[in-house]
Amino acid sequence: MKLKKSTLLFLLLLSTLTITAQQEKFLLGASAGYDLIYIKKPAFGLKGVLNLTPIVALVPEVILYSTDKVENAKMSFYEVNVAAEFRVQKLSSSYLTLALGMNLTRQNVEATDVFSKASANMVSFTPGLSYYLPLNRWLALDATTRYYIGKEGRYYIGAGLLFNLNPEKTTTKRPRK
């Protein structure tokens, strides 16, 4: 039953993003990062940036950390981030944003000697900063840093390459009065 609900929710989210991507500027790309405090393993993810207005963007991101072996156990982490980004400074063609979001981190532990499994969920509030540098109308570089306010109190830094799915639409300029 959970699989059906998860699949339905995923398809609904995918269709919503696809429809809105046709109307506004939507960037989608890969990211790589590192958790400096808690996980200490490299991470790879998928990030989307949906510009709702010239100043506000909705940014979903899914990150998968490399599997770690600790004594007789394998640990794996993945996280889902959703943030609202507010453009605070435009520097020539690049721009700096302030991000306010929520994070769900899932930790799975599998003991190799006794065949037992355990998992834990961690929810955090995640303020951060992002910097976007458009390379051309199709590609943009992005650098992100955020702090996880919650039980674990961790810090993440990452970078990625974003592909513009709809370069004809642009919301990077402020509307004229």
The answer to whether 21 and 50 have CB atoms below 8 angstroms apart is yes
104-119: average pLDDT: 74
pLDDT tier for residue 57 given thresholds of 50, 70 and 90: confident
In this structure, is residue 169 part of a structural domain? Answer: no
- pTM exceeding the 0.85 threshold for the entire prediction: no
Number of structural domains (the chain) is 1
Residue 1 has pLDDT above 80, yes or no: no
In this structure, is residue 17 part of a structural domain? Answer: no
In this structure, is residue 14 part of a structural domain? Answer: no
pLDDT tier for residue 143 given thresholds of 50, 70 and 90: very high
Q: What is the pLDDT of residue 73?
A: 73
In this structure, is residue 15 part of a structural domain? Answer: no
In this structure, is residue 172 part of a structural domain? Answer: no
Q: What is the pLDDT of residue 174?
A: 47
Q: What is the pLDDT of residues 69-99, one digit of tens each?
A: 767 777 777 888 888 888 887 777 788 888 8
Can you give the residue range of the structural domain that contains 85?
25-164
Q: What is the 3-state secondary structure (H, E, C) of 112-136?
A: CCCCCEEEEEEEEEEEEEEEEEECC
Q: What is the pLDDT of residue 87?
A: 85
Read off the tokens for 151. Answer: 């039980």
In this structure, is residue 41 part of a structural domain? Answer: yes
pLDDT tier for residue 5 given thresholds of 50, 70 and 90: low
CATH number of the domain enclosing 148 = 2.40.160.20
**Nearest one of 30, 60, 28 to 43, comparing CA atoms:** 30
In this structure, is residue 43 part of a structural domain? Answer: yes
Residue 141 has pLDDT above 70, yes or no: yes
Residue 175 has pLDDT above 50, yes or no: no
43-52: average pLDDT: 86
Neighbours of 101 (CB within 10 A): 19
